[in-house]
Amino acid sequence: MKQPALIFAVFGLLLLPLAARQHQANRMISSADTAFVTKAAQGGMEEVELGNMALKQANDQQVKQFGQRMVTDHTKINDQLKALATSKGMSLPGTLNSKEDSSKNHLTGMTGVAFDHAYMQDMVTDHKHDIAEFQHEADHGADPDVKAFASKALPTLQQHLQLAEQTLEQVKKEK
The ranges assigned to domains in the chain are 30-174
CB within 8 A of 98, min separation 6: which ones?
Answer: none
Q: What is the pLDDT of residues 138-148, one digit of tens each?
A: 999 999 999 99
Instruction: Please tell me the distance from the alpha carbon of residue 175 to that of residue 173, in angstroms, as a whole number.
Output: 6
User: Mean of the per-residue pLDDT values for the chain?
Assistant: 86
Instruction: Name the CATH superfamily for 30-174.
Output: Ferritin, core subunit, four-helix bundle (1.20.1260.10)
Instruction: Please tell me the distance from the alpha carbon of residue 157 to that of residue 19, in angstroms, as a whole number.
Output: 39
CB within 8 A of 66, min separation 6: which ones?
Answer: 51, 54, 120, 123, 163, 164, 167
| pLDDT for residue 18 is more than 50 | no
> Which pLDDT band holds residue 85 (cuts at 50, 70, 90)?
very high
- Termini Cα distance of the chain: 89
**pTM summary value:** 0.81
Instruction: Please tell me the distance from the alpha carbon of residue 9 to that of residue 15, in angstroms, as a whole number.
Output: 10
| pLDDT for residue 137 is more than 60 | yes
| pLDDT for residue 126 is more than 90 | yes
More confident residue, 20 or 158: 158
